[in-house]
Chains A and B, each alone.
Chain A
């Protein structure tokens, strides 16, 4: 599965909060068309790194390059505009909007988002809107949410919300997705379904994924490449089987105390 060039590269990222340095020089690359996992014990700075890449936080130092563009310090919507979409640790749907509408928000640069078209030239965006509806319905169908399309998103079950997050991200036509613990708190059947969706999106649509994940079995099954963070630094990189041999990684996990999540499952 050795593939092409890096789509995302993170260099010497640093970020501290009120004197506590959460990220201290994290550095890694994500290859185009890969599913890369970002793992590490609690407090390793995984979520902070995700927030730094996605623009939710500004790094104190370091660079983030995405598809050759320096996106360091971009605002979140600008990062998304370049085709890099992230999901959140806890599913955060738009609760009082329908499932279909949740998807309809996603497409970037909609004609009907311009004030003048919205108020005075509805004909301008009608056909585009129709295409989006068709596309959204096809995506909902793929994710098994078609029957729920006119339900309020807040009425979905926890697992369905997870699927909706992914479906909503796909609707945005991203080049790359960052998933922050997409498998947290869902049952094993659904975990494997989400894993299948990821593999399908990678194969059929050429998506790249960066996934923060605790469950090492999932990582082993789905991911091509693994980046291990500890105390805000990149500790090691490689395939899962390579990392299992790495004493340093194992000890970081044992001291971090969350390797259990991987051995159960």
Chain B
């Protein structure tokens, strides 16, 4: 029973984390139309920075190297992770958002991601290279003295609270005039610019906010599994987030929820526990990646709006005094049009 609860709690945590990733990508792509093909890099930077923030200094002689090692309390480590992801988002945005064609933007984000992957992997001094960080301390674990399964449950609640907070903020952003301006840049960059919107700044905001969200998801990830190595954040992981957003429906945060549940939890995480086939250890992840790619392509082909399409904006309207007059107008319009 305890094992089942632990397992469900684990899935619950993954659901919350992927949901945060998907909402972050939704702010970048669904709101502002930024093709971020390196979502998972923001997760990694958030995770690593929170990791080296929570860990103590690297011990000489252990052959394990990493920067910082600040032994920060968890709230500060969380902030460090989130801010680092935001800064990286800003740096990539500096290049990618200079009014480039959308394909250039995609190339730059994808290339930046693979450069960072190589830099982190090849330089053992930053985050211990391809070995990655291990033994990252978990929040409240030392204090509460819980059994592993109970801790997972507590962590799930913790992750759910953070997810809810981010969800509320993302929805506020969507409904605000800023979110509207972001969608206008998504719809037509030139027109939004011609209407006085500083589109570079607006898109940069979406880029950075999205990166911060994904970075926070990364912080939760490294706390939960207490380790992270580059193998855990390849291109295919980015695509899982894209799949969650596209299947769920971009532009709508409800879509991000259902998408993360379907793709990230049911499909992605549940298949991780399948027994691997003898002699072919990589076959299961390969099949999983092929299916996720196919799922996205089929969704775009047959239901491009996703499970939950973006909804029309609603405004509070006072009854219009000229409504009688309006009807005459409409007659004129149809008369003139046909």
Interface residues in B75-106 by Cβ distance below 8 A to A read none
Is the Cβ of B316 less than 8 Å from the Cβ of A130? yes
Q: Nearest CB to that of B170 among chain A residues?
A: A119
Q: Is the C-beta of A259 less than 8 angstroms from some C-beta in chain B?
A: no
Q: Is the C-beta of A247 less than 8 angstroms from some C-beta in chain B?
A: no
Tell me whether A119 and B188 are in contact in the complex, defined as CB-CB below 8 angstroms, given that A76-B194, A138-B322, A157-B337 are known contacts: no
With most chain B CB atoms within 10 A of its CB, the pick from A77, A106, A114, A115 is: A77
- Note all chain A residues with C-beta closer than 8 A to B197: 77, 105
Is the Cβ of A118 less than 8 Å from the Cβ of B178? yes
CA distance A109 to B198 in the complex (A): 10
Tell me whether A80 and B322 are in contact in the complex, defined as CB-CB below 8 angstroms, given that A94-B187, A104-B180, A157-B337 are known contacts: no
The minimal Cβ–Cβ distance linking B232 to chain A, given in whole angstroms, is 31
Interface segment among B1-9, B63-71, B141-149, B307-315: the answer is B307-315
Q: Nearest CB to that of B198 among chain A residues?
A: A77
Q: Is the C-beta of B191 less than 8 angstroms from some C-beta in chain A?
A: yes
Interface segment among A21-29, A142-150, A220-228, A248-256: the answer is A142-150
- Note all chain B residues with C-beta closer than 8 A to A75: 193, 198
Interchain CB contact (< 8 A) of B177 among A125, A134, A145, A159:
A125
Contact string against B for A residues 60-81, beta-carbon threshold 8 Å, 1 for contact and 0 otherwise: 0000000000000001110011
Is the Cβ of B177 less than 8 Å from the Cβ of A141? no
Is the Cβ of B313 less than 8 Å from the Cβ of A101? yes
Judged by DSSP, the binding face of B is helix
CA distance A150 to B311 in the complex (A): 11
Is the Cβ of A56 less than 8 Å from the Cβ of B190? yes
Tell me whether A101 and B180 are in contact in the complex, defined as CB-CB below 8 angstroms, given that A56-B190, A119-B169, A144-B333 are known contacts: yes
Q: Is the C-beta of B258 less than 8 angstroms from some C-beta in chain A?
A: no
Is the Cβ of B181 less than 8 Å from the Cβ of A113? yes
CA distance A29 to B219 in the complex (A): 59
CA distance A56 to B316 in the complex (A): 35
- Note all chain B residues with C-beta closer than 8 A to A130: 316, 318
Is the Cβ of A172 less than 8 Å from the Cβ of B329? no
Q: Nearest CB to that of A80 among chain B residues?
A: B196
- Note all chain B residues with C-beta closer than 8 A to A5: none
Q: Is the C-beta of B205 less than 8 angstroms from some C-beta in chain A?
A: yes
Is the Cβ of B318 less than 8 Å from the Cβ of A118? no
How many B residues, CB 8 Å from partner?
46
Q: Is the C-beta of B28 less than 8 angstroms from some C-beta in chain A?
A: no
Interface residues in B229-251 by Cβ distance below 8 A to A read 251
Q: Is the C-beta of A7 less than 8 angstroms from some C-beta in chain B?
A: no
Interface residues in B164-206 by Cβ distance below 8 A to A read 169, 172-173, 176-181, 183-184, 187-188, 190-199, 202, 205
CA distance A96 to B187 in the complex (A): 7
Contact string against A for B residues 95-130, beta-carbon threshold 8 Å, 1 for contact and 0 otherwise: 000000000000000000000000000000000000
Q: Is the C-beta of A20 less than 8 angstroms from some C-beta in chain B?
A: no
Q: Nearest CB to that of B209 among chain A residues?
A: A115
Is the Cβ of B193 less than 8 Å from the Cβ of A97? no
- Note all chain A residues with C-beta closer than 8 A to B183: 94, 96-97
Interchain CB contact (< 8 A) of B312 among A54, A110, A152:
A152
Q: Is the C-beta of A42 less than 8 angstroms from some C-beta in chain B?
A: no
Tell me whether A133 and B312 are in contact in the complex, defined as CB-CB below 8 angstroms, given that A77-B197, A77-B199 are known contacts: no
Q: Is the C-beta of B301 less than 8 angstroms from some C-beta in chain A?
A: no
CA distance A145 to B326 in the complex (A): 9
Tell me whether A88 and B320 are in contact in the complex, defined as CB-CB below 8 angstroms, given that A80-B196, A118-B173, A172-B196 are known contacts: no
Q: Is the C-beta of A85 less than 8 angstroms from some C-beta in chain B?
A: yes
Is the Cβ of B313 less than 8 Å from the Cβ of A106? no
Q: Nearest CB to that of B199 among chain A residues?
A: A77
Q: Is the C-beta of A175 less than 8 angstroms from some C-beta in chain B?
A: no
The minimal Cβ–Cβ distance linking A189 to chain B, given in whole angstroms, is 4
Interchain CB contact (< 8 A) of B184 among A80, A105, A146, A190:
A105
Is the Cβ of A88 less than 8 Å from the Cβ of B190? yes
Q: Is the C-beta of A129 less than 8 angstroms from some C-beta in chain B?
A: yes
CA distance A240 to B8 in the complex (A): 79
**What are 12 sample pairs from A and B whose C-beta atoms fall under 8 A apart?**
A95-B187, A98-B312, A100-B313, A105-B192, A105-B197, A109-B196, A112-B176, A112-B177, A133-B315, A133-B318, A141-B326, A147-B326
Closest A-B pairs by Cβ, 5 of them? A112-B177, A80-B196, A118-B176, A94-B187, A118-B178
